[in-house]
Amino acid sequence: MVLTVIERNGDGTPTAESAEVLAAARDLAEQLGEPVAAVAVGDAGDLPDDLAKRGVAQLHLLQHELLAEGSPSCAGEALAQLVAAQRPAAVLAPGTDRSTEAMAWAAAELGVPLATACTEIRPGEPWEVTRERSGGILLEDAALDAPIRLATLRPGAPAPSETAAAHEVTVHVVVPDLDTSVPRARLVDRQPRAAGMTLTTAPVVVAGGRGVGSAEGYAVLEELAGLVGGAVGCSRVATNNGWRPHADQVGLTGTRISPELYVACGISGATQHWVGCMNARSILAVNTDPEAPMVTRATWAVIGDVHEVLPAVITEIRRRSGR
């Protein structure tokens, strides 16, 4: 059996990342001659019908009040109990923060390794995986030698193949053995994303780092982003200093983006930041240091103070557009 971890949208359907993992699980199961099973948290809803079209034969529904709090340690413990009972050949999960953390807990509990951010899985003796390292700047080939292979897949890696023939999905409700000592984190609030332009959808991202100097310093970046129909981003220094929310952070531990234009203001271009913006079509760096990595890698650079350069750019855009 190849067991697939399903994350669900608000309406109970599998997320896009889970759909990708289901497609990869189907390919892997075919190679192994094994069935595809799925595990999800909560009630069935329309999930069995949806999974039937994706080649799934069995659905395990984990139900426990502690799972509703979103704690990865609880999800990991519940998953470990299911895996220990079912002994699948492999467990595949989306490479999202949430599933990766739950899988890490499960792996630790089961005493087996976890291969994260895989782009390819090749069964054999031993199994081999190709996985992303350092935020995607290098690919690693590794052996995955374990009785049960646990892997997360890098979101966006496998293109979902066409819909598989509909199966009859057998649903099993599983109540894991959890107590209040298991959760290490608790969901206290949900904040919906602001509607409209987001870092990932904006064609232009105007981002600021330490060089912006303060939370108030971002007003000029907001103004420029507004003028060019873009969004504001930032480096981790800005989030660490409380200048911007984490949702604005670009990079390894933030968001990876690929806008048409990335304007990096007072950002040095450390590797952990660079992996978040390196897929931009073009980059304009504004920096006082001509040797900063962001400047040397950018498509264009302006060597100067952010608070002098950006107001001048804004004035010129307003003059040319008559705004």
Ligand X SMILES: Cc1cc2nc3c(=O)[nH]c(=O)nc-3n(C[C@H](O)[C@H](O)[C@H](O)COP(=O)(O)OP(=O)(O)OC[C@H]3O[C@@H](n4cnc5c(N)ncnc54)[C@H](O)[C@@H]3O)c2cc1C
Member of 210, 222, 226, 241 binding ligand X (CB under 6 A)? 210
Whether the CB-CB separation of 281 and 263 falls below 8 Å is answered with no
Minimal CA–CA distance to 103: which of 61, 68, 39, 150?
150
Stretch near ligand X under the rule CB under 6 A, chosen from 24-32, 50-58, 185-193, 266-274: 266-274
CA distances from residue 78 to 166, 167, 171, 304, 319 in whole angstroms, order as listed: 28, 26, 17, 54, 61
Q: How far is the CB of 166 from ligand X (least distance, A)?
A: 42
Q: Which residue has the tokens 């890698």?
A: 297
Report the distance separating Cα 226 and Cα 221, nearest Å: 8
252 binds ligand X (CB under 6 A): yes
- Helix/strand/coil for 118: strand
266 binds ligand X (CB under 6 A): yes
Member of 55, 183, 251, 259 binding ligand X (CB under 6 A)? 251
Pick between residue 27 and residue 222 the one whose CB is nearest to ligand X: 222
Member of 160, 289, 314, 317 binding ligand X (CB under 6 A)? 289
254 binds ligand X (CB under 6 A): yes
Pick between residue 86 and residue 253 the one whose CB is nearest to ligand X: 253
| CA-CA-CA-CA torsion sign (92, 88, 130, 162) | negative
Member of 211, 230, 233, 259 binding ligand X (CB under 6 A)? 211
Pick between residue 81 and residue 249 the one whose CB is nearest to ligand X: 249
Between CA 315 and CA 300, with CA 312 as vertex, the angle to 5 degrees is: 120
Which residues lie near ligand X (CB under 6 A)? Answer: 209-211, 235-237, 249-254, 266-268, 270, 272-273, 276, 286-289, 292, 305-306
